Homo-oligomer: A and B are copies of this chain.
Amino acid sequence: MYYIGIDVGGMSIKGGIVSEEGKILHKSVVETRESYDENYSISLDIKRAIDELLDSSNIGMNEIKGIGIGEPGSIDYYKGIVRYSNNIAITNVHVVKELKAYYDVPIFIDNDANCAALGEYVFGEAKSYKNILFVTLGTGIGTGILTDGVLLRGNGNAGAEGGHTVIRMNGNRCNCGRRGCYETYASVTALIRDTKIAMDAHPESLMWEIAKNEGKINGKVSFAAAKRGDKTALSVVKRYIKYVSEGLTNLVNIFRPDVVIIGGGISFEGEYLTKPIERYINRNSFGSKYNPKTKVIPASLTNDAGILGAAALLLAK
């Protein structure tokens, strides 16, 4: 028996047929439209991605145990509704109900950060842990949290917004309307902003050469230059890691997880990123002298994390 995982992104919908062990046997991709409305729901494009999977494989619907869907945004897991999406202009779409008209299997939808956390728990490095804090550092900051093996959802599945916790009152303005949210300091968007400011102030910095080779100023520029000893880059990276660690220490004090998993493209920096964060947390978390230590590791599922995380919705509690 197999599972279907669907990863809804801003540009495309990616599908995969996934085995119990987390192996992806077939994949499909459907481009998303510029807009959706009552005449053409996003569910129809999700259906296209599912049907492509079934058509291109010799696996029939009778071998599919269920369909899981991951999407960035505010998702009512309990009712199967996209309340609103971060990257596609849709609100209050009854995705699960609409797909149930075509497929007679369990169907679940959840936000991408919850799926990513579940993916690591079911298929990834976090299999042996029960208390897991997954944090994606990207355009914003997403968090997915398991306590004692159960995903934290909250009322209407609207919880686990760890990126929207103020770490500096009256600080940077955040998209959510508040000031000083964690994601305005520790997202990759924030890192790029701070990289640009440092580059402007330091024309001699190696970051200029690296950015030229990259073709743009992205999240890698400061890390690459720092690893080669560039002082300006080192100070950018040091401050960034301090911001990331400060927000994570807050979350560690709240959840005291066994493991913190860092996701997003920046997790490719590996231990250069995770080790200083781990040291910071274990030095500064509450009662660190008496309380259990927390491991910090990079995400283990990378390219297909979205598909695997969505499929994991069917395998977890």
A residues sitting closer than 8 Å to B (CB atoms) are 74, 83-84, 91, 131, 143, 147-148, 150, 152-162, 164-169, 176-178, 246, 249-251, 253-258, 284, 286-287, 290-292, 294
Contact = CB atoms under 8 A, between A and B. Distances in A.
A156 B286 contact: no
A153 B148 contact: yes
Chain copies in complex: 2
Given A164-B286, A169-B246, A155 B178 contact: no
Contacts of A287: 74, 83-84, 158, 161, 176
Contact of A166 (B91, B143, B250): B250
B161 A154 contact: no
B164 A166 contact: no
A249 B156 contact: no
Contacts of A286: 158, 161, 164, 176
Contacts of A249: 166, 178
Nearest to A143: B254
Contact of A291 (B153, B156, B294): B156
12 contacts: A83-B291, A131-B155, A147-B153, A147-B154, A154-B254, A156-B291, A157-B256, A158-B256, A158-B291, A159-B254, A160-B256, A176-B286
B166 A167 contact: yes
Contacts of A155: 131, 256-258, 292, 294
B176 A254 contact: no
Contacts of A177: 284
Nearest to A129: B155
Given A84-B290, A291-B158, A178 B256 contact: no
A233 B158 CA distance: 36
Nearest to A182: B250
Contacts of A290: 74, 83-84, 91
A161 B291 CA distance: 12
Contacts of A161: 253-254, 256, 286-287
A196 to B, nearest CB: 21
Contacts of A169: 167-168, 246
Nearest to A175: B286
8 nearest A-B pairs in the assembled complex, by CB-CB distance: A154-B256, A159-B256, A165-B250, A158-B291, A161-B253, A158-B256, A156-B292, A164-B286
A57 to B, nearest CB: 37
Contacts of A167: 166-169
Nearest to A258: B155
Contacts of A150: 147-148, 150
Given A91-B290, A159-B256, A161-B254, 15 more contacts: A74-B291, A84-B287, A131-B154, A131-B159, A147-B150, A153-B256, A154-B254, A159-B254, A159-B255, A161-B256, A165-B254, A166-B250, A167-B168, A168-B168, A178-B284
